[in-house]
Every structure is written in structure tokens, then in C-alpha cells.
Chains A and B, each alone.
Chain A
Amino acid sequence: EDQVTQSPEALRLQEGESSSLNCSYTVSGLRGLFWYRQDPGKGPEFLFTLYSAGEEKEKERLKATLTKKESFLHITAPKPEDSATYLCAVSATNKLIFGTGTLLAVQP
């Protein structure tokens, strides 16, 4: 069965304290792995797409990496405005399958 698991469920960081979020997946025929950011009461907002193992993408303080079994979202020197829920999703067989997300809180 296709499945996406994110960890940790919640993460609290001090401003400037770097860390990583994990997304592990089991899927037959991966067509893409996605990272989204979701603010309270809003729809998810696209961050990255990764298609093959070894691929990396960066945007400001965020960097996403992909292996054959998992993806990491690295956050370098986070700021309070990076506080949000980060969602991972995989595309397989006509569907997007989401993890339950990591709630990130960055304290000043």
C-alpha cells in the first residue's frame, strides 16, 4: 500500500537553530515527491518537486533532498516567519498521497 510518513509531528526551534524534517515513503512507481507549506486556515502552498534520488532543490532557507526511500527538508537558520505546517506528498498512479505534516514553530 502506498504510504507517506512524516516526522516529527511537531518541532519547536529557536530562531537561527537549523534542523531537518523527514518524509519517508513507500510507493510503487514514484512520479514525483512534493513539499508544501500550509499556514493556519489556508490552502497548501507549493515549495518543491523532486523526481529522482539524489536530486536537491533550494529556496531561501529551505533545501529539499531525495533518496529512494525518504526526503528531507532542511531548514537553515530559521526565522519566526518560517513557522507553518510542512506537508510532504508523493504522486503515484493518478493520485497525490499526503503525509500528516510537521508543525514547525520558530521562536524569536
Chain B
Amino acid sequence: EAQVTQNPRYLITVTGKKLTVTCSQNMNHEYMSWYRQDPGLGLRQIYYSMNVEVTDKGDVPEGYKVSRKEKRNFPLILESPSPNQTSLYFCASSFNAQPNTEAFFGQGTRLTVV
């Protein structure tokens, strides 16, 4: 089954404790990205990757890191989480290096930083 898999689905952590949210896709897609979704603000792009070893900042990259060492994986790293990073996070992938085809989204990761 074609899918984007995120883990974990739910995470509660404390301020400053490094964490990684994993994302994997099995569709051989070129483009992958991370979004955060907050009430009233919609989906905002954090980082994106057009191919292996190619990553770039989205609209809200502060406090986040990513890597794209393999085509299928695109982990999101929070080196020192803060409460303002409490949010619902989505990973997505799409076929083209440019995001002009449909994006497939993961199930989401609900992160709470206390």
C-alpha cells in the first residue's frame, strides 16, 4: 500500500530534550516536506527536500532541522524543543521534484512540549 508513515503519533516531552520524528514514504517520491498545523494558522511549511541531500527552509524553519540521506526517509529533528513548538506535525511527499502534483500526507504527530 502506498503510504507516508510518521512516528510517533503522539509525543509529550519536556523543554530542551532533543527529539526526532521519523517520516518514511514507499512511493519513490522526489519531494518531501514537513508542516505544522496550528488552530487559525493552517498548515505551514517547515522544511522541504527536492531530492536526496537537497533540503531548504520553508516558512517556519526556526528551531527545526531535517536531513535527507535516503530518498524514502525525511526525519524532523528538534534539537531543543520549546513550548511554542507544541503542534500537530505532518510529513508529506509528492512525485515530482517540484510540488505540482498531489501530495500524500502522513497520519500526523501530535507533539506537546511542557
A and B physically associate: yes
Q: Which chain B residues border A31 with CB–CB below 8 Å?
A: 98-100
Q: A96, B40: Cβ atoms under 8 Å?
A: no
C-alpha gap A89/B108 in the complex (Å): 18
Question: Is the C-beta of A24 less than 8 angstroms from some C-beta in chain B?
Answer: no
Question: Is the C-beta of A43 less than 8 angstroms from some C-beta in chain B?
Answer: yes
Q: A46-B104, A87-B43, A101-B42 are in contact. Are A94 and B99 (CB under 8 A)?
A: yes
Question: Is the C-beta of B33 less than 8 angstroms from some C-beta in chain A?
Answer: yes
C-alpha gap A60/B42 in the complex (Å): 26
Question: Is the C-beta of B112 less than 8 angstroms from some C-beta in chain A?
Answer: no
Question: Is the C-beta of A54 less than 8 angstroms from some C-beta in chain B?
Answer: no
Question: Is the C-beta of A16 less than 8 angstroms from some C-beta in chain B?
Answer: no
Question: Is the C-beta of B105 less than 8 angstroms from some C-beta in chain A?
Answer: yes
Residues of chain A from 29 to 50 with CB closer than 8 A to chain B in the complex: 31-32, 34, 41-46, 49
Residues of A within 8 A of B (CB): 31-32, 34, 41-46, 49, 51, 87, 89, 91, 94-101
